[in-house]
Structure 1
Amino acid sequence: MAFNPLRERGIPLEKQFRNWSELNVKPYDKETVHPYSRCRGIVMNGIEVEAVMFSHTMARHTADPKIKQQLALVRRAEAQQQKAINWLIPGDESTLEVTIGYEQVAVDLTAWVAQHEPDAYLKQVYEFGLLEDFDHLYRYANLMALIESDKKAEKIVGGLTEIMPGRPTIFEHRDPRDEIRRPMTALAADPQSILNALTVMAAEQQTMNFYMTIGNRPQEMLARGLYAEIAEIEEQHVSHYESILDPTASWLTNLVMHEYNECWLYWSFMEQEPDKRVKALYELHLNMEIEHLRIACEMMRQIENRDPEEMLPKALEEPLLFQENKAYLRKVLAEQVDLTSSESEFMPVSDLPADHRYFDYQGVVNKGGVPSEQVIEQARSELGEEYRLQTEGGHPVPGLKREKNRDGASTEYANRMAA
């Protein structure tokens, strides 16, 4: 059923603030939680972090004290929402268990968005990043098999997401100038494209923040190295996704779209969440966001003399869904695994000239050993074979098929790329 947040009445802002016991919510049970319930919570934490940080940044770019005060009021409610959502994660869920959840989000969220992106170039942007996050899931799952052997990544993902090599992380390291994509034009873009971009950017940004913060917590040097390497890719991904947004859109245009996006996501997740307690939390936050959207729209009318309804959809027709994407992902793997980027375009790495800056950058960061390769080598050495969860058959890329006791996770793939 279609939903239009502009036609709904939310909770007045002065009634949105909660006490500490209300924010200190009871966490989920990690043994029984549905994998996609975990994923939805991770997404909304990232969305709320983005809302708070965007509001702070906007406040730093205005001299009007009334605008600053209005932003501060809404931002405090958003900050409380972030606490309630993030506090759903239980303390007995290890950093690595949470990490597996983050990567499942990156895979299945990006896969849904790519399949529901109306712009062909933006669809390619999402598919490009998708294969890289898919590989991260595989690397962290092997790290778990090595250092937390009493736990299984397959239990965390619930068999809903396969675990096998994507575009090998070793080949994802590119010169930073080649991470910038062509921006959309907000006035001409399909509103779904804007919602997609804001959602994936916020999710990747939160993953970047998470790895930058917790990557130094493991004691094992291999684990610390893997987090350092993949954290750098997540920073690349934030550059990758933020660059598709319209840089000419006004602060108030961005504010309205942020609030509209939050309404879309809370409505989407409220509709599919099986945990009644969490569902009620999403419904509460949706009613708060409806008011935040109303306030942002009113600010646009008063300050820019623009009607925000002219740029917003008439209604939200389709919710964002967490669902299996195995067949789709295998297809993208088979077709695009060997792609890299140069400037804003995508191409097979074999098409790059020998003097391309990609190879110079690779020579710098991969000199002396690569943790994402070392974790697979160590898994093969200690466990006999690397950890995979291939529920749909063999790997669709011949060079990445499973082989026992083979040195290097990407040797055959590397040979194919160099051919």
Structure 2
Amino acid sequence: MGFNPLEHQGIPLDRQLRNWRELDVEPVDPDRGDPYTRCRIITMNGIEAEAILFNRQFARHCPDPDVRQELARVRYVEAQQQKAVNWLLPGLASVLETTIAYEQVAVDLTGWVARHEPDPYLRQAYEFGVLEDFDHLYRYANLYEMIEHRKAESVVGQLTEVMPGRPTKFHHRDPVDNVREPYDRTAADPLSRLHALTIMSAEQQTMNFYMNVGPQYMEPIARQLYQEIALIEEEHVTHYESLVDPGETWWEQLVTHEYNECYLYHSFLEQEPDAKVRAVWELHLNMELEHLRIACDLLRRHDGREPGELLAPELPNVLTFEENKRFVRGLLDTQIDLTTLGTGYVRDAHERFQRFQELIHGGEEPPSERVMARHREQFGGEYRLESEGPHPDVASRERN
């Protein structure tokens, strides 16, 4: 039998508050740790940040003072969880090093979700997005070597390739073409709900991270590249958040958020090799079990529904950070020239796309192209990290 979080008792909420000593977690080793441990930390930071932001929006729209107090109690614990998780990141890591890890998360988390998504339309949305984050990883890796004289391999190991994806300059689209069709809340597979919430949360955290760290660099090309990709992450958040059915009630969304946290903490607990980090995942899972129980009680009282009406009877198979090299290469061979039109996808550079490209680029090469030109001038070529075997130079392909 699988793990059903509704059947497990968590830590009572009044025993979840931690003092400063308990929150003072030991960060992971940036040089000896598993790169996917860092990916799991970044992912759960985004998940916890989304939980806090959602809870705040719910409280601002809820007229019931008792419910607002209940939300505040849970939200404070979620804020402690977010601090504990985010503080696991090594303080020695530079902003660019952490940025490369963020893009590794985007590639391998979205790649795994795309491979396991049961809905074809949602799967296409994830496949489309992963090729763009794959190219962001490539651009930042070249910037990393230029500024810090280190190679991205020191961050991603041999787990994720670094090579051109869909060129970043083609990611800028008219905002109306970033809005997708949502899943149907009455018919969607429970796994699809979790996938959409997970990727939306991760991309939202990436967007917020770039918005805040980009201006910290003195090098103009670094500031410009962060600005460009931060705007694309805004597009990605629109792309993914629009997949969620807006007809879901606040209570329904609350339950899904808490259930998803249980799912991810359980998944990462199952695969985490670092004992210190694994202890955090286990503790937080036992906290989230209680948060889920509270959310389910609120759903029953205020929405008149049972959690079983929208949740799977047990958690899906664990979400795993693993190599997606063959999968991504397959997408590069078949979807490199896609763009969006309305809520669908096309291969032709349609008029609205071309008009927006002209407006945003202003007749000049964007930072994502200039950083590559600078790297070629400085090193005589581009930085790449590829597995053995031939692969087409997709960066040289131009849209028809």
The verdict on a shared fold, with TM-score over 0.5 as the criterion, is yes
**Letter in structure 2 aligned against 1:40:** R
Match of 1:88 in 2: 88
**1:359 aligns to 2:354 (yes or no):** yes
**Letter in structure 2 aligned against 1:339:** L
Contact 2:172 2:232 in 1 (8 A): yes
Please state how far the C-alpha of 1:277 moved relative to its aligned partner: 0.8
Q: Give the Cα separation in 1 of the matches to 2:348 and 2:208.
A: 29
Match of 2:28 in 1: 28
**Letter in structure 2 aligned against 1:222:** I
Match of 1:202 in 2: 201
Deviations 1:128-172 (A, max 9, x none): 0000000000000000110110x2201210110000000000011
Please state how far the C-alpha of 1:317 moved relative to its aligned partner: 3.5
Please state how far the C-alpha of 1:187 moved relative to its aligned partner: 1.8
Please state how far the C-alpha of 1:308 moved relative to its aligned partner: 1.1
Match of 1:130 in 2: 130
Match of 1:169 in 2: 168
**Which region of structure 1 is more displaced relative to structure 2, 65-74 or 365-374?**
365-374
**1:56 aligns to 2:56 (yes or no):** yes
User: May I ask how many residue pairs the two structures share in their alignment?
Assistant: 399
Q: Give the Cα separation in 1 of the matches to 2:360 and 2:389.
A: 34
**1:381 aligns to 2:377 (yes or no):** yes
Alignment of 1:20-419 (within 5 A): 20-149=20-149, 151-350=150-349, 352=350, 356-367=351-362, 368-396=364-392, 398=393, 400=394, 410=395, 412-414=396-398, 417-418=399-400
Question: Looking at both structures, which has the greater relative contact order when contacts are Cα pairs under 8 Å and sequence separation is at least 6?
Answer: 2
Match of 1:407 in 2: none
Contact 2:196 2:241 in 1 (8 A): yes
Structure 2 runs not aligned, ≥5 long: none
Structure 1 residue matching 2:230: 3-state secondary structure: helix
Q: Give the Cα separation in 2 of the matches to 1:309 and 1:10.
A: 19
Structure 1 residue ranges, 4+ long, deviating more than 4 angstroms after superposition: none
Q: CA RMSD in A?
A: 0.9
**Letter in structure 2 aligned against 1:18:** R
Contact 1:185 1:246 in 2 (8 A): yes
Deviations 1:197-253 (A, max 9, x none): 000000000000000000111110000000000000000000000000000010000
Deviations 1:35-75 (A, max 9, x none): 00000000000000000000000000011100100000000
Contact 2:191 2:316 in 1 (8 A): no
Deviations 1:300-332 (A, max 9, x none): 111111111121101114000000010011001
Contact 2:181 2:343 in 1 (8 A): yes
Structure 1 runs not aligned, ≥5 long: 401-409
Task: Indicate the percent of aligned positions where both proteins have the same amino acid.
Answer: 57
Q: Give the Cα separation in 2 of the matches to 1:394 and 1:85.
A: 39
**Letter in structure 2 aligned against 1:21:** R
**Letter in structure 2 aligned against 1:192:** L
Contact 2:9 2:290 in 1 (8 A): yes
Structure 2 residue matching 1:312: 3-state secondary structure: coil
**Letter in structure 2 aligned against 1:86:** N
Please state how far the C-alpha of 1:8 moved relative to its aligned partner: 0.3
Deviations 1:228-287 (A, max 9, x none): 000000000000000000000100000000000000000000000000111011000000
Q: Give the Cα separation in 2 of the matches to 1:115 and 1:146.
A: 34
Q: Give the Cα separation in 2 of the matches to 1:53 and 1:20.
A: 23
Q: Give the Cα separation in 2 of the matches to 1:392 and 1:258.
A: 41
Q: Give the Cα separation in 1 of the matches to 2:76 and 2:186.
A: 30
Please state how far the C-alpha of 1:365 moved relative to its aligned partner: 1.2
Structure 1 residue matching 2:130: 3-state secondary structure: helix
Please state how far the C-alpha of 1:360 moved relative to its aligned partner: 1.1
Contact 1:201 1:238 in 2 (8 A): yes
Please state how far the C-alpha of 1:394 moved relative to its aligned partner: 3.0
**Letter in structure 1 aligned against 2:159:** L
Q: Give the Cα separation in 2 of the matches to 1:145 and 1:75.
A: 40
Please state how far the C-alpha of 1:24 moved relative to its aligned partner: 2.0
Q: Give the Cα separation in 1 of the matches to 2:109 and 2:139.
A: 19
Q: Give the Cα separation in 2 of the matches to 1:309 and 1:283.
A: 24
Contact 1:164 1:395 in 2 (8 A): no
Q: Give the Cα separation in 2 of the matches to 1:144 and 1:45.
A: 23
Deviations 1:321-351 (A, max 9, x none): 000010011001100000000110001034x
Match of 1:406 in 2: none
Q: Give the Cα separation in 2 of the matches to 1:34 and 1:348.
A: 38
Please state how far the C-alpha of 1:358 moved relative to its aligned partner: 1.0
**Letter in structure 2 aligned against 1:176:** P
Q: Give the Cα separation in 2 of the matches to 1:224 and 1:42.
A: 22
Q: Give the Cα separation in 1 of the matches to 2:388 and 2:176.
A: 37
**Letter in structure 2 aligned against 1:395:** H
Normalization by structure 1: what TM-score? Answer: 0.94
Contact 2:135 2:164 in 1 (8 A): yes
Please state how far the C-alpha of 1:413 moved relative to its aligned partner: 1.4
